[in-house]
Amino acid sequence: MNEALELEPLARIESVEACIVSLPLVKPFETSFSVKTVKEALLLRVRSADCEGWGECVASSDPFYSYETNATALHVLKEFLLPAAAKSGSLRDVGDRFKKVRGHNMAKAAVENAILDLAARRARKPLWKLLGGEEKRIPSGLSIGIKETPEDLVSAVGKAVEKKYQRVKIKIKRGKDAAFVRAVRSAFPDVPLMADANADYSLEDIPALQALDAFGLMMIEQPLSNDDIYQHSLLQKRLKTALCLDESIHSLDDARAAQELGSCRIINIKQGRVGGLLASKAMAAFCLEKGMPVWSGGMLETGVGRAANLHLQTLPGFVLPGDTSETANYFRSDIVDKPVVLDGDGMIRLPEGDGLGVTVVPQVLARHKTFEEVLYRR
């Protein structure tokens, strides 16, 4: 862990405000578990006497990806996490106090993100530097939702290839798998391609998953149950394609179990799902030591969470392109001043400036805000 972070005394937290914004998606995003047409994002603004920091909670309005929702996060933040954070003297202390609350990693990550943004802004440093990362451009991958027909999917992948995305992920589910992947592979024989099943399959579906071995995928993400690690180890033995775990990895202990059992060869680290940027850093370091590539996942974040994900990817171990893609794929108007755009070669430049490097635009926030509450006041 970065020593400077551990020694840095926290700025006194004076108040924490939460708001929820509702942002229409430019196109519906379909996965094996839902179709999303709006992003409802819970945002935290943590204030000290002289500064403020922002964090986004990656929970959703529904409990379909994980048990957390924006409503459970608000409850746990207000009653437990924020009073604990406000008492803490250092970031390590925040982490220790948060251990007492079981689970609720998305709520924990939201506060941690906001405190880190605040700490970096007070130190007049970009977040990547505070985290101990290296300044670099981030390779961008695109996650494409399930489409009605293989032709629709091929056309969406074609646009991603034109934009020079460094890899393309397509969502699959039972019955919408091999034919879709085959169509994409025939049209684009060389595109770095992967498929994400969001836990739609079981071990009875091994033949359907083995059929995907023919298409040279980089990996298949989370084919089996959202809370399984063991059965994935059985499946991995019967597939040529690498498995990648998403939903079932919540901690370093989970990553260790998956690595030792051989449940996957790659891990998708979503910083929100694992409790924040510092936990992600520790997990990526562990995976690097074990020779297991990791990449940074996405949760259709607004510009706040998207910037946090970019800073995360400057850390050692994040060796594969992640799911951080251009803002324009999601929103017509985002709540921050700088949208994520690709350089011509499919790379993203880190937002410049202190902390996250992006600023929430109050007028845009106000236009999309559906809820606000002061969750903590000293």
Instruction: Return residues touching ligand OSB (CB under 6 A).
Output: 65, 143, 196, 198, 246, 297-300, 323, 325
Q: What is the DSSP annotation of 259-306?
A: HHHT--SEEEE-TTTTTSHHHHHHHHHHHHHTT--EEE---S--HHHH
Residue type, 290: K
Whether 159 sits among the annotated catalytic residues: the reply is no
Of 115 and 269, CB closest to ligand OSB: 269
Largest CA distance in the chain: 60
Q: At 69, phi and psi to the nearest 5?
A: -130, 170
Q: Which is nearer to ligand OSB, 116 or 269 (CB)?
A: 269
| Smaller CB separation from Mg ion, 85 or 243 | 243
Which strands, in side-by-side order, build the sheet including 294-296?
141-144, 167-171, 193-196, 220-221, 243-245, 266-269, 294-296
The nearest distance, CB 36 to ligand OSB, in angstroms, is 7
Q: Which residues contact 80 (CB under 8 A, 6 or more apart)?
A: 100, 101
312 is written with which tokens? Answer: 């995360």
Catalytic residue among 171, 173, 281, 338: 171
Nearer Cβ to ligand OSB (330/376) = 330
Residue type, 204: E
Minimal distance, residue 198 CB to Mg ion, in Å = 6
Q: What track of x and - describes contact with Mg ion for positions 232 through 251 (by CB under 5 A)?
A: --------------x-----
Rounded to a whole number of angstroms, the minimum distance from the CB of residue 67 to ligand OSB is 14
Q: Give me the 188-217 binding string for Mg ion, x by CB under 5 A, dash otherwise.
A: --------x---------------------
**Of 108, 169, 270, 281, catalytic:** 270
Q: Report if residue 40 touches Mg ion, rule: CB under 5 A.
A: no
Q: Which does 113 bind (CB under 5 to 8 A by kind): ligand OSB, Mg ion, none?
A: none
- Rounded to the nearest whole angstrom, what is the least distance from the CB of residue 298 to ligand OSB in the complex? 2
Task: Say how far apart CA 190 and CA 8 lie, in whole Å.
Answer: 47
Kindly tell me the burial class for residue 291, based on how many C-beta atoms sit within 10 Å of its own C-beta (0-12, 13-18, 19 or more): exposed
What is the rounded CA–CA span in Å between residue 223 and residue 225? 7
Residue number, 280 or 325, with CB nearest to ligand OSB:
325
Q: How far apart are CA 222 and CA 154, in angstroms?
A: 22
Question: Percentages helix, strand, coil for the chain, rounded to the nearest 5?
Answer: 40, 20, 40
Q: Which is nearer to Mg ion, 52 or 68 (CB)?
A: 68
40 binds, among ligand OSB, Mg ion, none (CB under 5 to 8 A by kind): none
Residue 270 annotated in active site: yes
65 binds, among ligand OSB, Mg ion, none (CB under 5 to 8 A by kind): ligand OSB
Reported as half-sphere exposure (CB side, CA atoms, 13 A), residue 284 has a value of: 27
- Residue 323 touches which member of ligand OSB, Mg ion, none, C-beta under 5-8 Å by kind: ligand OSB
Return the axis-axis angle of helices 230-237 and 252-261, rounded to nearest 10°.
30
Catalytic (active-site) positions: 171, 270
The residues binding Mg ion (CB under 5 A) are: 196, 221, 246
